[in-house]
Amino acid sequence: MQLGIVGLPFSGKSTLFQAITRTHLDAAAVGKTDAHVGVVKVPDPRLDRCAAIFKPKSTVHATIEFVDVAGLKKGATGTAQFTTSFLSAVKNNDALIQVVRLFHNDAVPHPDGSIEPLRDIATFESEFILSDMAILESRIDKIRKQVPRSHDEQAKKELPLLEKCLALLEAEKPLRNEDLSPEELHLLKTYQLLTVKPMLIALSLDESQQAVMDQEIARVAAAKAGPRTRVVAFFGKIDMEMSELSGEEARLFMREYGIRESALDTLIREAYALLGLQSFLTVGEDECRAWTIRAGMTAQEAAGVIHSDFVSKFIRAEVVHYDHFIAAGGSFAKAKEAGHWRLEGKNYVVKDGDILNIRHS
Ligand SMILES: Nc1nc2c(ncn2[C@@H]2O[C@H](COP(=O)(O)OP(=O)(O)OP(=O)(O)O)[C@@H](O)[C@H]2O)c(=O)[nH]1
Ligand SMILES: [Mg+2]
C-alpha cells in the first residue's frame, strides 16, 4: 500500500513524513520538487505477541510506503497544471493524505497570511477538480468525434460515465465521495483521476492546540467528511521529536504532552479504515508475519496474498482467532480443546486478527 502526502506549501508535509518514516530530509531537499519515499512497518501488537511466543527466525510486519509529494505551488502557473513529477508521484498512491495547516509559526508564515483550514482544503480541492476536468473533457471530446463512426464498444460504454463524472466535478463534487460501482471505478482507472482517490485530511496542529483538536476535527469533518474522506489530526513537531526516542521514552513523552496516539498510529488506523483493509497472521518457529488484505476477502483469496500458487492449490485453512489463541495461553492444542480451532473452506471470509495456516496440495 502506498500513501501520498500532499497539501499546500508550508502545511507540514515534510515534517509529517520525517516523523513517521524516522528520516531526516536535509534542508536542501525539503520543499524541492522531487518526491521522497519511505517504507514504514505497520505497528502490530498482535504480531509482536506472537513473535514473543514462537521466537521465530524472522518476524515480518506489513509495510506501507509513504511518499512526500512536493510540487503543488498554489498559483505558480495560474492554471491547474500539476507538474509531471507531482502526477507521476501521485498516480500509484492508493490514498492521499492531505496535510492542512493549523499550527502557528511566525518564522514560516502561512502563504495566505492566515490559518483557515476550510479555505485551504477548498483551494487544494479545486486544483484537483480542475485537473480531473481537463482530463475528462479532452477524452470526452475525442470519444464524441470518434464514436459515431467507430465500433469502439469500450468507448461507447465509457462516454456516459465520463459525462456523469464531468457533471459532478462541474458541481464541485470530488469523485471519491460519489456512489460509483466497482465496474465504473475500474473503467476510470486508466485516467488516473485525482479526486477518485480516497483522502485522509490530516490537520497539522502544534502542541498548544490539543484542547481544540477534537473540535477542529469535528468542524472540518462536518464540512468535508464523506464515504471516502476521513479527517484526522496530528502534532507534527512533537511527532518529529518523538521519532528520535525509544519506545519507552516516547510513551513517557506522549504522557507528558497528553497525546493519545502517535501520528503514525493514527494514520495507519485511519488509512486501513478508509481503504477497508485488515490483517491476518501466519505464525510458526520459522516466521511470524502480518498480512494486509481487503475486508471481505475469502480464505482462498487471502491464501493468494501469501503465494499466488496457493489460490489453485488451496485445500483448507486452519483458523484460530488471535484473541482465542492468546486466551488459550498461546497454544493451538488448548485453543482446539476449547473449540476455537476450525478447518474452513475456500469461501470462509477471513476476519481481522485471524491466524491462518493454509493447507495446500
Ligand atoms: N511551530 C510549528 N512549526 C511547524 C510545525 N510543523 C511544521 N512546522 C514548520 O513549518 C515549516 C514548514 O513545514 P514543512 O514540513 O517543511 O512543510 P511542507 O508542507 O513540507 O512545505 P513545502 O514542502 O515547502 O511545501 C517548517 O519550518 C517546519 O519546521 C508545527 O507543528 N509547529
Ligand atoms: Mg516539504
Question: What is the model's pLDDT at position 27?
Answer: 63
The residues pairing with 219 across neighbouring beta strands, listed in sequence order, are none
Cα–ligand 2 centroid distance for 224 (angstroms): 24
Question: What is the model's pLDDT at position 296?
Answer: 95
Report which of 320, 324, 322, 318 is spatially closest to residue 344, judged by C-alpha positions: 318
CA distance 3 to 92: 9
Question: What is the model's pLDDT at position 29?
Answer: 58
Nearest CA to ligand 1 atom 3: 105
CA distance 67 to 94: 11
Report which of 11, 14, 36, 37 is spatially closest to residue 239, judged by C-alpha positions: 14
**What is the mean pLDDT, run by run of 10 residues, along the chain of 361 residues?**
92 94 72 78 95 97 91 52 75 93 94 93 92 94 81 82 96 94 91 94 94 95 94 94 88 88 92 94 97 96 96 97 97 96 97 97 91
Question: What is the model's pLDDT at position 116?
Answer: 95
3-state SS, residue 359? strand
Report which of 36, 132, 39 is spatially closest to residue 85, judged by C-alpha positions: 36
Phi-psi region of 249 (alpha: psi -120 to 50; beta: other; left: phi over 0): alpha
Cα–ligand 1 centroid distance for 15 (angstroms): 6
A 10 A CB-CB count for 244 gives 12
Question: What is the model's pLDDT at position 146?
Answer: 80
Question: What is the model's pLDDT at position 73?
Answer: 59
What residue type is assigned to position 233 of the chain?
Answer: A
CA distance 5 to 271: 12
- From the centroid of its chain, how far is CA 179? 20
Question: What is the model's pLDDT at position 80?
Answer: 43
Using CB distances shorter than 6 Å, the residues near ligand 1 are: 7, 9-15, 30-31, 70, 103, 105, 108, 204, 206, 236-237
**Which atom of ligand 1 is found nearest the CA of 235?**
31
